[in-house]
């Protein structure tokens, strides 16, 4: 596993973050340290006590400690970031029990989302998230691809020597292996939107490239954007520059840089600015994550940034069918 675990410009600072692979730092592989688990359990117990006081009409007896516990329960159950192992997600909180009924469809999406790895960069050895959206083509963010790309000529991009890139469709918590596909071409980087298209091919270690995800060809039904349940899949990295460390610690249990399922809802749209808003618990390494409709499991948007508990931004892909770069990428619109 790479030794530097940070993601540029997508939100994480350019610093080594907590590792979770072999030889990792503060966490003892393969589990969360006992102290972190005990503290989280204490927080949840405080939150349960606070909820009981609310039910009994004793809100005036909720201490600051109990209030923190109550907030912890909201964060952990309302917008969780669920670890993924062996291509499947761990037990979701009760508020998201319906994820279990969609397990097979979500597993299929999980298999098509990967981490953008890089070699030859002095600061980073992974940069963000990408997903298969066309035949051998991957969508990610412009600010991710620009870290290893240069504009060799108008509308012609190439690698910045000596850097190379790949897409690892695994990079899960506790994983000792990878499912890695080489990035062989930078198809294009969008002029105005935070979007880039890469071409990938199988390596000697990887099997066949999976079929691409289905991308929504049309917007959800009128009036159904706000409150629509969605999920993101990606690789949240430590993001202390933009986010309060305490909520991050409660949600992510100090485990970063590995694949997670992050459910939430759409919270708005600014289609004239090519944006939809969502409230999934994303961090910097989620740059390039798909935002997927929980009902249809089609990709609605390409996540590109945000701030936790405020708003997150994604590009609505159904609005780009006539875009020249998207046309060249031949996305799997359905």
Can you give the CATH number for the domain in which 128 is found? 2.40.10.10
pLDDT per position in the chain (334 positions), as tens?
332 334 444 433 222 222 222 223 333 334 444 555 566 567 667 766 776 777 688 878 888 777 665 555 555 557 888 999 999 999 998 889 999 999 999 999 999 999 999 999 888 889 999 999 999 999 999 999 999 999 888 878 999 999 999 999 999 988 889 999 999 999 999 999 999 999 999 776 767 899 999 999 999 886 789 999 999 999 988 654 544 555 556 666 678 889 999 999 998 888 888 899 998 988 889 999 999 999 999 999 999 988 655 678 999 999 999 999 999 999 999 9
In the chain, the number of structural domains is 1
pLDDT of residue 61: 87
Report the alpha-carbon distance of residue 178 to residue 153 in Å, rounded: 34
In a domain? residue 124 = yes
Q: Is residue 276 helix, strand or coil?
A: strand
pLDDT of residue 322: 95
pLDDT of residue 236: 87
Q: Find tokens 């490239």 and name the residue.
A: 209
Which residues, in sequence order, are CB contacts of 325 under 8 Å at separation 6+? 187, 188, 190, 195, 197
pLDDT of residue 69: 58
In a domain? residue 66 = no
pLDDT of residue 157: 93
In a domain? residue 215 = no
In a domain? residue 177 = yes
pLDDT of residue 58: 86
pLDDT of residue 146: 94
pTM: 0.78
In a domain? residue 37 = no
Which residues, in sequence order, are CB contacts of 127 under 8 Å at separation 6+? 7, 8, 10, 116, 117, 118, 144, 147, 148, 165, 287
Q: Is residue 45 helix, strand or coil?
A: helix
In a domain? residue 139 = yes
Q: Which residues of 241-258 are buried (b: 16+ CB within 10 A; e: fewer)?
A: eebeeebbbbbbbbbbbb
In a domain? residue 327 = no
Domain that holds residue 118: 107-202
pLDDT of residue 273: 82
Identify the DSSP state of 271: G
pLDDT of residue 78: 76
pLDDT of residue 311: 76
In a domain? residue 142 = yes
């Amino acid at each position: 596993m790479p030794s530097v675990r940070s993601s540029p410009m997508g939100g994480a600072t350019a610093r080594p973050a907590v590792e979770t692979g072999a030889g990792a730092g503060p966490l003892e592989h393969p589990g969360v340290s006992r102290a972190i688990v005990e503290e989280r359990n204490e927080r949840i117990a405080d939150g349960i006590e606070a909820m009981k006081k609310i039910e009994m009409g004793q809100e005036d007896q909720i201490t600051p400690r109990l209030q923190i516990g109550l907030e912890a329960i909201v964060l952990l159950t309302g917008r969780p970031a669920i670890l993924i192992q062996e291509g499947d997600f761990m037990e979701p909180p009760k508020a998201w029990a319906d994820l279990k009924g969609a397990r097979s469809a979500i597993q299929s999406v999980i298999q098509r989302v990967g981490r953008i790895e890089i070699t030859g960069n002095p600061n980073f050895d992974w940069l963000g998230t990408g997903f298969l959206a066309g035949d051998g083509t991957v969508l990610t963010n412009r600010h991710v691809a620009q870290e290893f790309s240069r504009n060799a000529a108008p509308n012609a991009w190439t690698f910045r020597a000596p850097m190379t890139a790949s897409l690892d469709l695994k990079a899960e918590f506790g994983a000792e292996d990878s499912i890695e596909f080489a990035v062989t071409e930078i198809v294009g980087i969008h002029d105005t939107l935070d979007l880039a298209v890469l071409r990938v091919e199988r390596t000697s270690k990887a099997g066949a490239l999976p079929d691409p995800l289905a991308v929504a060809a049309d917007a959800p039904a009128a009036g159904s954007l706000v409150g629509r349940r969605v999920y993101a899949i990606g690789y949240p990295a430590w993001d202390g520059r933009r986010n309060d460390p305490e909520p991050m610690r409660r949600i992510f249990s100090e485990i970063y840089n590995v694949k997670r399922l992050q459910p939430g809802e759409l919270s708005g749209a600014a289609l004239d600015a090519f944006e939809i808003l969502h409230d999934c618990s994303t961090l910097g390494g989620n740059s390039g994550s798909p935002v997927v409709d929980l009902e249809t499991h089609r990709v609605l948007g390409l996540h590109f940034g945000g701030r936790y508990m405020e708003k997150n931004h994604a590009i609505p892909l159904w609005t780009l069918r006539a875009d020249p770069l998207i046309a060249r990428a031949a996305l799997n619109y359905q």
